[in-house]
Amino acid sequence: MKSVCIIDDDPEVRDTIVSLTRKMGLTSDAAGTLEAGMDLLARESFDVVFLDVRLPDGNGLAALPAIKRLPGAPEVIILTGIGDPDGAELAIQEGVWDYLVKPSPIKHIMLTLKRALTYREERRSDHAPVSLALAGCVATSSRMQPCLDQVAHAAGSNAAVLITGETGAGKELFARLIHANSTRARKAFVAVDCASLTETLVESTLFGHKKGAFTGADADRVGLAQLADGGTLFLDEVGEMPTSLQKTFLRVLHEKTFRPVGGVSEIRSDFRLIAATNRDLEPMVEAGEFRRDLYFRLKTIELSLPPLRCRVEDIKPLTLAFADALAAEYALPRKGFDAEFLAMLEAYDWPGNVRELRNVVERAVLASGREKTLYSMHLPQDVRIKVTKSTLERGMQSCDRPVSALPGLFATESGPIGRRTLKEYKESMERRYLEGLLREHGRDVAAMVEISGLSRSHFYALLKKNGLAIAE
């Protein structure tokens, strides 16, 4: 018998859904607070959770990551009294089944519940657990689990995949993971950097050319699309593809045939396409800079990689992996690192993401030489300076009174910095800064985003991380 959990502070709502589930032949349990609801979820296994957003002891959206980490995680249906577009966006990003606003018709609630249960049952019966080959991939944080789920989903089909994310976030690595876990794994993975191709040579590079097709074509050349026959063609930075080529490539993607430059006959290539970009293609489509039909064809399956600053839990295992590999590469002793070294890495915002982290660890490994422990002094000065300045600036902005300075020691309301790690100081100052924003600007999200310099999604993510919510 299927089971349903209702977490809502309104007794009438709880009673209504309990009565509804009983009529559907389901079992249910209910809680009026977030704490009581999480205790229920920890003790018992549920198929579906109805979750309110505004609860007496917290924000329901902040609990979504913990719910999704539960064994056999239930499907979550948000049921809230106040519709919030940004809250709905955050909820969907966290993988909720639906976002309903009270009062919702009983028929609508029943239909949503039935569909969530049907989906859950089909997923259980039709899809055996997938064991992914994750060579070279470190993704232990909860933010990365949906990405790995999408890898498994994409690996089971031949559909086109669009991977989005900031520079250095690991887009090519995840493209290779999809290829390595697919039925095409034994065939070639061919990568094309669209940003490095000149408009005059891009067609020749992708589709090949015949001898004499243009000046300098001294021999026939096989194009990368043909080399990817039976395997995967990876178009990196597809947003840089010249508009003159987009129409041609759309036809190639549809027909899987192309004509080399200077050729007269068509060549067939059964390649699977994976594209990646660090640009937002939707505004480019609206501006006429990227073909709408090609955009939708590319994103049959979409995989969005979070930046490293939003998956801080991965910094330590990534650093360990990089340090071990680099020590072996340079024939140096295996490296460990102290708590301050890691705290400094976790406090940095990583604009270059995982790629930048590897570069920083490499510089630290080389600076340490034969020493067996990495210290913060081994880190590049630009990283140390940026972390220290941003930490002090946030502290000054969020404190109600000036920070008093002593030689080698700063005092704060939470105690002297000299007795706390950098991570502990950073976390306390981050929370106080957010509390100050909420106190001064209430529900004006636009003002808080502009003042903080954060993106809207990053702002909401930090609120969730610190257990804070915008007053409703």
Could you report the per-residue pLDDT of 35-68, keeping only the tens digit for each?
Answer: 899 988 888 889 999 999 888 888 888 888 888 8
Output the pLDDT for position 410.
42
Altogether, the residues listed in the chain come to a count of 472
Distances (CA, A) of 70 to 29, 43, 45, 140, 365: 17, 11, 9, 15, 38
Output the pLDDT for position 421.
63
- pLDDT per position as a tens digit, 193-212: 988 877 777 888 889 988 88
Reference 141, options 423, 280, 346, 355; nearest CA is 346
Please give the residue range of the domain that contains residue 227: 142-306
Residue 285 DSSP class = H
Cα 87 off chain centre by: 17
Q: Are residues 322 and 460 in the same domain?
A: yes
Q: Indicate the residue among 306, 340, 374 that finishes a domain.
A: 306
**Does residue 131 belong to any structural domain of this protein?**
no
Residue 439 has pLDDT above 90, yes or no: no
**Does residue 137 belong to any structural domain of this protein?**
no
State percent of the chain over pLDDT 90. Answer: 41
SS3 78: strand
Q: Are 241 and 277 in contact (CB under 8 A)?
A: no
SS3 385: helix
Output the pLDDT for position 407.
37
Q: Are residues 318 and 286 in the same domain?
A: no
**Does residue 366 belong to any structural domain of this protein?**
yes
Output the pLDDT for position 401.
43
The CATH number covering residue 46 comes to 3.40.50.2300
pLDDT band at 467 (very low <50, low <70, confident <90, very high): confident
The CATH number covering residue 422 comes to 1.10.8.60
Measured CA to CA, the distance from residue 159 to residue 165 in angstroms comes to 20
Residue 33 DSSP class = S
Residue 52 DSSP class = -
Output the pLDDT for position 466.
77
Q: Indicate the residue among 274, 306, 338 that finishes a domain.
A: 306
Residue 179 has pLDDT above 70, yes or no: yes
**Does residue 433 belong to any structural domain of this protein?**
yes
> Helix 422-441 crosses helix 445-452 at what angle (to 10 degrees)?
140
**Does residue 251 belong to any structural domain of this protein?**
yes
- pLDDT per position as a tens digit, 372-386: 999 999 999 999 998
**Does residue 37 belong to any structural domain of this protein?**
yes
Residue 415 has pLDDT above 90, yes or no: no
Q: Are residues 291 and 367 in the same domain?
A: no
Residue 224 has pLDDT above 80, yes or no: yes
The CATH number covering residue 208 comes to 3.40.50.300
- pLDDT per position as a tens digit, 239-278: 998 888 898 889 998 888 999 988 888 999 999 999 999 9
Q: Are residues 107 and 246 in the same domain?
A: no
Q: Are residues 443 and 384 in the same domain?
A: yes
DSSP string across 232-251: EEEEETGGGS-HHHHHHHHH
Q: Are residues 329 and 299 in the same domain?
A: no
Measured CA to CA, the distance from residue 299 to residue 302 in angstroms comes to 5
Output the pLDDT for position 345.
94
Residue 404 has pLDDT above 70, yes or no: no
**Does residue 444 belong to any structural domain of this protein?**
yes
Q: Are residues 339 and 299 in the same domain?
A: no
Between 396 and 454, the higher pLDDT residue: 454
Output the pLDDT for position 395.
59
Distances (CA, A) of 161 to 132, 189, 307, 394: 17, 14, 19, 39
**Does residue 133 belong to any structural domain of this protein?**
no
Q: Are residues 192 and 173 in the same domain?
A: yes
Q: Are residues 175 and 291 in the same domain?
A: yes
- pLDDT per position as a tens digit, 336-364: 988 889 999 999 999 999 999 999 999 99
* Mean pLDDT of the region 96-122: 86
Can you give the pTM of this predicted structure? Answer: 0.67
- pLDDT per position as a tens digit, 392-403: 776 555 444 444
Q: Indicate the residue among 259, 282, 306 that finishes a domain.
A: 306
Q: Are residues 209 and 294 in the same domain?
A: yes
Q: Are residues 294 and 151 in the same domain?
A: yes
Mean residue pLDDT of the chain comes to 85
Q: Per the structure, how many domains does the chain have? A: 3
Q: Are residues 175 and 119 in the same domain?
A: no
* Mean pLDDT of the region 414-419: 48
Distances (CA, A) of 360 to 60, 261, 318: 38, 43, 12
